[in-house]
Amino acid sequence: MRRSAAVASALIALLQAPGALAAEHPGRSQIEKDGYKGPSTCEECHPGKAKEFLGTVHWKHASKVDNVENLDPKQEYGMKNRIYTMCNGNDIVNNLKEIPKNADGKSKFTGCNTCHPGNHLNDVGSSGPEAEAAVDCLVCHSTEYDFRQRKPYKDEQGRVVMGQDRSTKAALAIGKPTVKNCMTCHETAGGGVLVKRGFSFTKDTDAHAAKGMVCVDCHQAKDHRIPTGFDPNNWANDGLRLSCDGCHGEKPHKSADYNRHTARIACQTCHIPRTGGAVAKDFTVWEKGGDGFYEPTTLKKDANETVPVYAWYDQKVRNEPHFIGPKGSRKDGKSKIYPFKIYMGKAFYDAKSGKLLSMDFAPPMANGDTRAGVESAARTLGMKDPAAVAKAAVPGWQTIYFGSNHLVTRSKALNCVNCHGVNGVLNFRELGYAPAEVKKLTNPELYFKQLVEKQKEEW
């Protein structure tokens, strides 16, 4: 009996070891024989997983939100129904659709739902057997997925649908989601390739990727629910949260001087000294692109080109028509200093309520008519007298603080003088420190010894 237990323990240890036995995914012979038929094939071994997936943010694009002010706690919020100036639309208004022909006689398909892991006919937030059958399991779980097939087209009934790769080849290549599996969608967040962040997740841009890590090494799913951080603009979540200290602990440094900072300074503040991506968009004026279609006027920077701003953040979010950003204070005992990218978005506001209006991208994308886009969105959302709403709409700016959680560096992290020097990156006065405290915090005595020691090491 003891010998059997020992053998079993050894086998378990072997199977858990990296690259253990390189075993094929079970069911290979059956798939080779019958082909891949979608989730029903997967559920022969993983029963109930498609239905489980329908309850996640990746399918619903929304969830209940408990850390953002001015929201109804009974409602769900997310890309499905939010209106904010990085996108100025949502799934309801800008569902996958065919854009009307432009002046050159061209048309194309677009919409927020091009990244939704379904077939579009049973889409965001839908449920039931048809929705379960529409789930694209392989788009995340196949290492040989042909992403060229993930594109919209019209079916025989004239409906706009989303293609999927349900080939036997893709089904036989089941593995841990790769960076490509994730970034195929997440790179295009914000309305285009690298618009939101300005960089991808590669060994050249992030210390974790340089170590060979992939997205799901940090974002480890539980029952298809993906843990996320507390970006002030990323509202929808699966109820699972993650942070740097989950892996690195609260005392990640050899230096006691550095470790005593972690109670008030977020890891990201020192280890993400730069960011990138869009810093401003104007949805009231669209510019004609090289393909003959119009896009909102956008000011974008590449990776490492944007210096963050720093603010106290208690992981609660201010939510107002013209501002979305961190709440927090030096004195509340809960907040830490975090880095943020300030983004400015210009769009139309309702003349009566002062609320931000959504925009249907089809009209302005085809011909640049932005108020026609506001009118169409108002009609879709059931607003009274959409034409009058669009005509009276008032242009205005919204400021959004985007959290900085990727583009992590070890070698170029901030050191003592970067913050405590006279011209350091932290504006202590704006962070709530009195003049006498600022003088003390920028005293060379705080960092001179460390600089000398560092110089000795380099010599």
pLDDT tens track for 245-274: 999 999 999 989 899 999 999 999 999 999
Q: How far is CA 87 from CA 10, 107, 139, 316, in A?
A: 53, 21, 24, 22
The whole-number pLDDT of residue 282 equals 97
Predicted local distance difference test score (pLDDT) of residue 444: 82
pLDDT value of residue 445: 80
**pLDDT score recorded for residue 457:** 65
Of 81, 66, 86, 63, the C-alpha closest to 341 is 86
Residue 228 pLDDT? 97
Q: Residue 160: how many CA atoms within 13 Å on its side-chain side?
A: 14
Does residue 23 sit within a domain? no
116: enclosing H helix or E strand: none
Q: Report pLDDT for 4.
A: 43
Which pLDDT score is estimated for 286?
97
Determine, yes or no, domain membership for 457: yes
Dihedral sign for Cα atoms in the order 87, 93, 97, 102: negative
* 3-state DSSP of the chain: CHHHHHHHHHHHHHHHCCCCCCCCCCCHHHHHHHCCCCHHHHCCCCCCHHHHHCCCHHHHCCEECCCECCCCCCCEECCCCCCCCCCCCCCCCCCCEEECCCCCCCCEEECHHHHCCCCCCCCCCCCCHHHHHHCCCHHHHECCCCHHHCCEEECCCCCEEECCCCCHHHHCCECCCCHHHHHHHHCCCCCCCCCCCCCCCCCCCCHHHHCCCCHHHHCCCECCECCECCCCCCCCCCCCECCCHHHHCCCCCCCHHHHCCCCCECHHHHHCCCEEEEEEEEEEEEEECCCCCEEEEEEEEEEEEECCEEEEECCCEEEECCEEEECCCCCCCCCEEEEEEEEEEEEEECCCCCCECCCCCHHHHHHCCHHHHHHHHHHHCCCCCHHHHHHHCEEEEEEEEEECCCCCCCCCCCCHHHHHCCCCCCCCCCCCCCHHHHHHHCCHHHCHHHHHHHHHHHC
The CA distance from 235 to 141, in Å, is: 25
Residue 437 lies in a domain: yes
pLDDT at 20: 38
Q: Are 425 and 415 in contact (CB under 8 A)?
A: no
The closest alpha carbon to 139, from 96, 202, 186, belongs to 186
Map residue 73 onto helix, strand or coil.
coil
Tokens of 418: 């970067």
For residue 457, give its domain range: 415-423+433-459
11-20 pLDDT tens trace? 344 334 444 3
**Does residue 300 belong to any structural domain of this protein?**
no
Cβ atoms of 223 and 50 within 8 Å: the answer is no
Alpha-carbon Rg for the chain in angstroms: 25
Range list of H helices, 178-294? 179-186, 207-210, 215-218, 245-248, 256-259, 267-271
Number of domains in the chain: 1
pLDDT at 385: 98
Specify the pLDDT at position 23.
Answer: 57
Confirm whether 445 is domain-assigned. Answer: yes
State residue 183's pLDDT score: 93
Tokens in use for 16? 């858990």
Q: Does the residue 439 lie in any domain?
A: yes
Check residue 113 and give its pLDDT: 83
Domain presence at residue 446: yes
pTM here? 0.90
pLDDT at 19: 40
Is 438 within a domain? yes
Distance CA 49, CA 55 (A): 10
Q: What is the pLDDT of residue 455?
A: 65
Residue by residue, pLDDT tens for the chain (459 residues) are 444 444 344 434 433 444 433 457 888 889 999 999 999 999 999 999 999 999 999 999 999 999 999 999 999 999 999 999 999 989 999 988 888 888 888 888 888 888 899 998 888 999 999 999 999 999 999 999 999 999 999 999 988 999 999 999 999 999 899 999 999 999 888 887 778 888 889 999 999 999 999 999 999 999 999 999 999 999 999 999 999 999 999 999 998 989 999 999 999 999 999 998 889 999 999 999 989 999 999 998 887 888 999 999 999 999 999 999 999 999 999 999 999 999 999 999 999 999 999 999 999 999 999 999 999 999 999 999 999 999 999 999 999 999 999 999 999 999 998 999 888 999 999 999 999 999 999 988 877 777 677 666 666
